[in-house]
Chains A and B, each alone.
Chain A
Amino acid sequence: MIPASFDYHAPKTLAEAIGLLTKYPGDAKVLSGGQSLLPLLKLRLGSAGHLVDINRVPGLEYIKEEGGFLKIGGRTRESALERSEVVKSRYPILIDTAAVIADPIVRNLATVGGNLAHGDPANDHPATMLALRAQVVATGPKGERVIPIGEFFTDLFTTALAPDEILTEIRIPAPQPRTGGAYVKLERKVGDFATAGAAVQVTLGKGGEIVRAGIGLTNAGLTPVQAEAAEKFLQGKRPDAGTIAEAARLAAQSADPSADRRGSVEYKVEMARVLTARALKKAVARAEGA
């Protein structure tokens, strides 16, 4: 449990941090919460010659609604998300998600940005952000760029972030009226990665029909999965039992999980279906109450 040696830098500004990433291409890693990075280094499964600790850089932790978006600073702690009144009242899907990431102590340090930037399809925020149609702000030497979440996850443990970019903000469109979302995770125990997880965000029209649906699946492929077929199917339909069941079935068809101790492929695909149905029911209930 002892990492190999590395150099450590604690820049005081974002520019300085980016400069260090530029200086050590491919050999520098960002230390944000460290709750994914340090365990890897301790087991000597990953390596980095340089750790760039961004915890001394001001202005990276915030939660605010602004300009039609919920804006979350990249280094915002999961526990801060759980405590945030605006998130609790207007984005409960994020509470659902944060509450099942690792355990409460890890969540004191783990960051929302880190949960996305790690590119691990087993992390929980990616599915939720897909369902929410979020955007990721990447800041690099050339400044900021906005990456739609649908383009962010490119491969296993790989994102659209360049090696010298830092994920500085997550933007979630503010919800229309009659919008509700939920994240449901099946885990073997607290602290485990998902056996399966489903994030659903729906907006209901005046007649109670679904006018917008976002569905994301956790640990269902090499990258987080957006269940597009299910989303399309739900458009314009009333969320009765039959519709929910069919949407869940379609969502499961988008799942391509690997077998492991958490379950066989068949089980995980079925759980994607079961959890999508449950998340959809919950999302609809929240939308109806909103």
Chain B
Amino acid sequence: MAPQTTPEVGGMGHSIKRKEDPRFIRGKGNYVDDIQLPGMLHMDIVRSPYAHAKILAIHTEKALKVPGVLAVITGATLEQYKLHWMPTLMSDTQMVLPTDRVMYQAQEVAAVVATDRYTAADGVAAVEVDYEPLPVVIDPFKALEPGAPVLRTDKPGKKDNRIFHWEVGDRKATEKAAADADVVVREHMYIPRIHVASIETCGCIADFDRARGKLTVYMTTQAPHAIRTVFALVAGHVGLSEEKIRIVSPDIGGGFGGKVPVYPGYVIAVAASVVIGKPIKWVEDRMENLQADSFARDYHMDVELSAKKDGTMTGLRIKTLADHGYADAAANPSKFPAGLFSICTGSYDIPNAFCEVDGVYTNKPPGGIAYRCSFRVTEAVHAIERITDRLAQELKMDPAALRMKNFIAPEKFPYKSALGWEYDSGNYPAALRKAMDMIGYEALRKEQAEKRKRGELMGIGISSFTEIVGAGPSKHFDILGIKMFDSCEIRIHPTGKAIARFGTKSQGQGHETTYAQIIAEELGIPAAHVEIEEGDTDTAPYGLGTYASRSTPTAGAAGAMAARKIREKAKKIAAYLLEVSEADLVWETGKFFVKGAPQKSKTIQEIAFAAYTNHPQGMEAGLEAVNYYDPPNLTFPFGSYICVVDIDRGTGEIKIRRFVAVDDCGNIINPMIVDGQIHGGLSMGMAPALLEEISYDENGNIQGGSFMDYLVPTSMETPNWETGKTVTPSPHHPFGAKGVGESATVGAPPAIVNAAVDALSHLGVTHIEIPMTPQKVWAILKEKGVAE
């Protein structure tokens, strides 16, 4: 769709340069650790080396003797204020600081407050803790066996390690479909724990101003309002009242879900500031970030797909064990303990489906959806896209042909899936065909056949995913009871410029630009003249924040709706100025003109000026509006990705030769920014497929707890991503847009796995678990007798 506005206005469809960049390219960003306040103190945290242990004693004398150390805070300190435990976003509970035992390696045990960060580090090194190690529960399957140590003894009457059981679909009908099917394929798939590792770690400055009774927290948070309300609820009993709490989310160096949870460090810093009366800064190191902050994935899935012998899918069954660590601290909408996993029927018209998820406690850090996963959609898409390829392999059908055969046809939208979602729009065949054309699919299959004769291992993998974003309609979606609307407040100034504030919070997605473009599109005010603000809870309208690709679907919609309210008032003012009735006016970007007499017009700028200088009697002055947008449905972006790999028979290394990503996120605000989201998302899809993993040995010691072993891809491991688009607007969204930030992280991993399996399928390989390390692949090559 070609842009409807001029480049000067910069509305939808223009790849205008980002408005937030001038400060970043000058090194003048304002990240939490850049902020220094007068009298500020520094906090550092003592952490447990044990995954499960009783705390016998915490010796603070040596630490308190270090010059510059002012305090050592322990669980006992916080217990006095009943702040030693806090609720999680899933209404579980987790410790802020322990009074009795630790439940995961790297758990916070005590906090040192000092005059500067070097002294705080010395203080931490001087704290001595006596532990009595306890039996460790690491394997989630063993955690459910009778006789396993019960971890959450803090919960009265708790006799096991179960967290929840959740299911959806028709169990019986799906069982019958499997029983009646011509072919049933099954795979066990484990998606390991990973960590999003944004380059900026988490941190805050908690600043309690005694004179004003006001707490300000500068915080790396993707959801400032929700955090404010949580603090008010959690700490209300110690006198923190919501109007006296201000959360400021300044510039954030990457969030991806990792900056949604409330980490103990924040709460301790707040408590310290309230007690000491000075600003307290806490910024974690990278190792703390990897070892203690919220993880993602850790899903053990048994996936079963039934079909007719012509490839028509008839039933999908998935049983999942979800390892949540010692507390369910995932930031899912409250009715969805397994997030939006039930999107697992994917892009296919599967008549029968059933999925169940069981959550379990283990001695690991709590979580966990904090890695660009759209509330468990990465897991769901991995399951369906892998099992689809498995079915193709079983039937000896081309995987593209099998997908085409089963896609939900374009004319079937809005489509009600067997698991209850109403997909708003989609055109899956078009996206797959485009990807196939871009990569030269048929020629690649020929090449593969020739290479196979020579013993060369080349694979082609497809992922045709459907995403589900924009949480969400108030009927079903809330976080801790707060509905998942989002908001925008716009105010037009007399000289026709504007400021707009939103309830979301960008961490690099470019809202200062894209939101301005939405308003430019609706009102014709150049995007360059629209100032966008987010993140300060004292001024921004209430919103649920930015994660799960929800901003454009919710807050972006609110922006359009607020702008339309302004246009309604502007029309009244224009009618007054032009001395016609509103019915005689026509809107054309940036102005109202009189039907049949286009020279009689008023620009939005003239109308804005009049709103303050010459508004109609009986009408309020000013030109502003606020909208709280309750989306009628989620949006369903989709895409088809195709990956080509070559496998080194000597080392087992998988080299991605090409990767084509065709995405459809409906109407696009800024194509350049969307491509940037895709590039980054693809990299975060490739990383878990090939490189990243957090695991634990049998004693609960973390493996992969620093950048030495947690392998974030560099520019050398990352291929040159090729992107394409189709555009299938959302029929219910005010400007037909869908979210897009996580599509690529969701869609990419199975494309890569499918390619690697495809390279080896002629040898009988049916599945490879991620990350597909060279050693794993080499072991398969050796087993099949084709290692160099």
Check A189 against B117 for contact (C-beta < 8 Å). no
Shortest CB-to-CB span from B676 to chain A, Å, is 23
B651 at the interface (CB under 8 A from A): yes
Which residue of the partner chain A has the closest CB to B713?
Answer: A189
Q: Is A103 an interface residue (CB 8 A)?
A: yes
Q: Is the CB of B717 within 8 A of A261?
A: no
| Cross-interface CB contact of B711 among A44, A189, A263, A277, cutoff 8 Å | A189
Q: Mark A234-264, 1 if CB is under 8 A from B, else 0.
A: 0000000000000000000000000001111
What's the minimum C-beta distance from B770 to chain A, rounded to whole angstroms? 14
Contact yes or no, B779 A2, CB < 8 A: no
Any chain A CB within 8 A of the CB of B180?
no
Is A186 in contact with chain B by the CB < 8 A criterion?
yes
Q: Which of the 9-residue segments B2-10, B51-59, B118-126, B165-173 touches chain A?
A: B118-126
Q: Mark A12-52, 1 if CB is under 8 A from B, else 0.
A: 00000000000000000000000000000000100000000
- Assess whether B714 is in contact with A189, with CB atoms less than 8 Å apart: yes
Question: Please, which residues of chain B bring their CB within 8 A of the CB of A95?
Answer: none
CB pair B775–A189 under 8 Å, yes or no, is no
Whether A189 contacts B121 by the Cβ 8 Å rule is no
Q: List 14 A-B contacts (CB under 8 A).
A: A1-B286, A2-B117, A2-B118, A2-B121, A5-B122, A186-B774, A189-B713, A192-B708, A261-B703, A261-B704, A267-B779, A270-B782, A274-B650, A274-B651
Residue of A1, A262, A267 ringed by the most chain B CB atoms within 10 A: A267
**A-chain residues with CB within 8 Å of residue B782 when the two chains form the complex:** 270
Partner of B775, one of A190, A192, A267, A278: A267
B443 close to A (CB within 8 Å)? no
Is the pair B711, A192 in contact by a Cβ cutoff of 8 Å? yes
Q: Which of A2, A190, A264, A267 contacts B716 (CB 8 A)?
A: A190
* B778 within 8 Å of A (CB atoms): yes
Residues of B within 8 A of A188 (CB): 691, 711, 773-774
- Interface assignment of B447: CB less than 8 Å from any CB of chain A: no
Question: Chain A residues with Cβ under 8 A from B125's Cβ?
Answer: 4, 44
**B588 contact set on A, CB distance < 8 A:** none
Question: Closest Cβ of chain A: how far from B364's Cβ, in Å?
Answer: 17
Sort A-B residue pairs by CB-CB distance and give the 5 closest, nearest first.
A2-B121, A274-B650, A263-B775, A267-B775, A190-B716
B61 interface residue (CB < 8 Å to A): no
A177 at the interface (CB under 8 A from B): no
Within 8 A of A (CB), among B738-786: 773-775, 778-779, 782
Determine whether B21 belongs to the interface, using a CB cutoff of 8 Å to chain A: no
A271 to B774 Cα, complex, angstroms = 10
A47 and B379 CA atoms in complex are apart in Å by 44
Q: Is the CB of B709 within 8 A of A261?
A: yes
What's the nearest-Cβ distance from chain A to residue B343, in Å?
Answer: 32
Which residues on B sit within 8 Å (CB–CB) of A192?
708, 711
Q: Is the C-beta of A59 less than 8 angstroms from some C-beta in chain B? A: no
Chain B residues numbered 636-665 whose CB sits less than 8 Å from any CB in chain A: 650-651, 653
The answer to whether B651 touches A271 (Cβ under 8 A) is yes
Known contacts A189-B711, A191-B714; A270 and B121 CB within 8 A of each other: no
B651 near A186 with CB under 8 A, answer: yes
Distance of A191 Cα from B712 Cα, bound (Å): 11
With known contacts A261-B704, A271-B651, A1–B285 Cβ distance under 8 A: yes
| A44 contacts across to B, CB distance below 8 A | 125
Shortest Cβ gap from B787 to chain A (Å): 8
> Is the pair B691, A189 in contact by a Cβ cutoff of 8 Å?
yes
Q: Mark B377-397, 1 if CB is under 8 A from A, else 0.
A: 000000000000000000000
Question: Across the two chains, which residue of chain A brings its CB closest to B649?
Answer: A274
Those of B191-243 within 8 Å (CB) of chain A: none
Contacts of B773 in A (CB 8 A): 188
A192 vs B711: C-alpha distance when bound (angstroms): 9
Taking CB atoms, residues of chain B closer than 8 Å to A264 are: 775
Q: What secondary structure prevails in chain A residues at the interface with B?
A: loop
Asked if B698 lies at the interface with its beta carbon under 8 angstroms from chain A, I say no
- Measured CA separation A192–B712 after assembly (Å): 11
Interface assignment of A76: CB less than 8 Å from any CB of chain B: no
Chain B residues numbered 279-313 whose CB sits less than 8 Å from any CB in chain A: 285-286
Query: What is the CA–CA distance of A103 and B707 in the complex, to the nearest angstrom?
Result: 13
A264 to B652, CA, bound (A): 13
Inter-chain contacts of B651 with A (CB < 8 A): 186, 271, 274
Complex-state Cα separation, A104 to B779, whole angstroms: 32
B433 to chain A, nearest CB (A): 35
Can you add 19 more A-B contacts, CB < 8 Å, to A2-B118, A261-B704, A267-B775?
A2-B117, A2-B121, A4-B122, A103-B714, A186-B651, A186-B653, A189-B713, A189-B714, A190-B714, A190-B716, A192-B708, A261-B703, A263-B774, A264-B775, A267-B779, A270-B782, A271-B651, A277-B650, A278-B650
Q: How far is the CA of A192 from the CA of B778 in the complex (A)?
A: 19
Q: Could you tell me the distance between the alpha carbons of A138 and B779 in the complex, rounded to whole angstroms?
A: 44
A4 neighbours in B (Cβ, 8 Å): 122, 125
Q: Is the interface of B mostly helix, strand, loop or mixed?
A: loop
A177 to chain B, nearest CB (A): 31
Size bracket, chain B contacts: 20 to 34
Q: At the interface, yes or no: A219 with Cβ under 8 Å from chain B?
A: no
Residues of A within 8 A of B34 (CB): none
- Contact of B788 with A by CB under 8 A: yes
Q: Which chain A residues (160-188) contact chain B, with CB distance < 8 Å?
A: 186, 188
Least Cβ–Cβ distance between A5 and chain B, in angstroms = 8
Shortest C-beta distance, B192 to chain A (Å), equals 12
Flag whether A195 is at the interface (Cβ < 8 A): yes
Chain B proximity of A45: nearest CB distance (Å): 11
A261 to B708, alpha carbons, bound, how many Å?
10
- Which residues of B are found within 8 Å of A263, using beta-carbon distances? 774-775
Q: In whole Å, how far is B693's beta carbon from the nearest beta carbon of chain A?
A: 8
What residues on A are CB-neighbors of B788 within 8 Å? 274
How far is B117's CA from A20's CA once the two chains are assembled, in angstroms? 30
List residues of chain A with CB within 8 A of the CB of B714: 103, 189-191
What are the residues of chain B within 8 A of A278 when measuring CB–CB?
A: 650
In angstroms, Cα B290 to Cα A1, docked, is 14
Most buried by A among B691, B713, B774, B775: B775
A4 to B650, CA, bound (A): 45
Q: Smallest CB–CB gap between B578 and chain A, Å? A: 64
The minimal Cβ–Cβ distance linking A182 to chain B, given in whole angstroms, is: 15
- Bound together, the chains give a CA A191 to CA B773 distance in angstroms of 17
Residue interface mask A135-178, B partner, CB < 8 A = 1: 00000000000000000000000000000000000000000000
User: Contact flags (1/0) for B525-557 with A, using CB distance below 8 Å?
Assistant: 000000000000000000000000000000000
CB-CB under 8 A from B708, the residues of chain A are 192
Complex: how many Å from CA A190 to CA B711? Answer: 10
Interface string of B127-150 (1 = CB under 8 A from A): 000000000000000000000000
Within 8 A of B (CB), among A122-139: none
B709, A190: Cβ atoms closer than 8 Å: no
Chain A: which residue is nearest B652 at the CB level?
Answer: A267
CB distance from B215 to the nearest CB of A (A): 28
Bound together, the chains give a CA A190 to CA B775 distance in angstroms of 17
The interface residues of chain A lying within 8 Å CB-to-CB of B285 are: 1
Which B95-119 residues have a C-beta within 8 angstroms of A?
117-118
How many whole Å from A20's CB to the nearest CB in chain B? 24
Nearest A-chain residue to B693, judged by Cβ: A261
CA distance A261 to B716 in the complex (A): 20
Question: CB-CB < 8 A to B713: which residues of A?
Answer: 189
Nearest to B116 among chain A residues (CB) is: A2
Bound form: Cα–Cα A1–B117 in Å: 10
Q: Which one of A190, A191, A267, A277 contacts B778 once the chains associate, using CB atoms below 8 Å? A: A267
Query: CB distance B774 to A195 under 8 Å?
Result: yes
B713-727 Cβ-contact flags toward A at 8 Å (1 or 0):
110110000000000
A201→B188 CA distance, assembly (Å): 47
CB <8 Å contact, A189 and B778: no
From residue A271, how far is it (CB to closest CB) to chain B in Å? Answer: 6
Cα A5 to Cα B779 in complex, Å, equals 47
Which residues on B sit within 8 Å (CB–CB) of A274?
650-651, 788
Interface centre among A4, A103, A192, A261 (most CB of B within 10 A): A261
**Would you call B716 and A189 a contact (CB within 8 A)?**
yes
- State the CA gap A267–B775 with chains docked (Å): 6
